[in-house]
Amino acid sequence: MSTVDILAIFAHPDDLELSVGGTMLKLKDLGYRTGALDVTRGEMGTRGTVDGRAVEAENAAKILKLDIRDNLGLPDGHVFVTDDARVALVRALRRLKPRLILTHQENDSHADHDHIATLVRESSRLAAMRNYDPDTGDEKIPPPIVAHNVFSRRVVPSFIVDVSDFLEAKMDALRAHRSQFYDPNSTEPETMLTGKSYLDEIANRSRYYGSLIGTAAGEPFFVREMLNVNDPFELLTRPMNLYS
């Protein structure tokens, strides 16, 4: 089975693109193997169908140049931190062996998002315990580092990734989820995502975070752990153009 360096774990088929699409594109450009694990199939969504959304997710995956896109198949709207859910995720992590996980922020207003943030943290540690779920025969893996995307809550980011060169492709990946966003010809009910200006707002969010580091676009992340910096001079003297 294929493995990845970075795994994006998000609730619904378009959440990755909304949150970390630019970062995933950049990591792929840097030569890393990237993957996505959608936790649900989005069956509770107001618009689109499960089959249609799966096709959209695959189309978006091609734009993002993902090496793997998989689905955990937990029930949309009913994701909880249960042992069954932890076992399912631990098995996926042992199979894919990521070194870094990008996921939802904690305390997100969407219950699935919030629960997944906790589920990811717990499962990442459990995947390193040889005697957890021993019936699968999978060996333990080193616990992946978890970085939470900052999206719907006022959280000071630990760092911001410059995604200036990848904003356009990120927006193309979002538009691949055609059923979920603005479509003047759609007869389905409107949602908070289907307004004409919504995707512009997402692009502007990236531009705002980029402005904080002196770039055209950025995506923010929060990590609980202390960051181990190998070269503080390289980190602290990187040009930001904030005062030019």
What band does 187 get if pLDDT is binned at 50, 70 and 90? confident
Q: What value does the mean pLDDT take over residues 18-33? A: 97
Instruction: Compute the mean pLDDT over every residue in the chain, rounded to the nearest whole number.
Output: 92
- Beta carbons of 16 and 38 less than 8 angstroms apart: yes
User: What are the boundaries of each domain within the chain?
Assistant: 6-225
Stronger pLDDT, 191 or 37, i.e. the higher one: 37
Q: What pLDDT, on the 0 to 100 scale, is given for residue 189?
A: 82
Stronger pLDDT, 74 or 130, i.e. the higher one: 74
* Backbone dihedral angles phi then psi of residue 192, each to the nearest 5 degrees: -65, -15
Q: What is the C-alpha separation between 117 and 103, in angstroms, rounded?
A: 6
The 10s digit of each residue's pLDDT in 224-238 is 999 899 999 988 887
The 10s digit of each residue's pLDDT in 121-166 is 999 999 999 889 877 666 789 999 999 999 988 899 999 999 999 9
Q: What pLDDT, on the 0 to 100 scale, is given for residue 242?
A: 54
The 10s digit of each residue's pLDDT in 55-69 is 999 999 999 999 999
Q: What is the C-alpha separation between 141 and 138, in angstroms, rounded?
A: 9
**DSSP helix/strand/coil, 188:** coil
Q: What is the C-alpha separation between 14 and 164, in angstroms, rounded?
A: 20
- 36, β-bridge pairs: 8, 69
- The pTM of the full predicted model, rounded to 2 decimals, is 0.93
One of 3.40.50.10320, 3.30.390.50, 3.40.50.280, 2.60.120.380 is the CATH number of 6-225, namely 3.40.50.10320
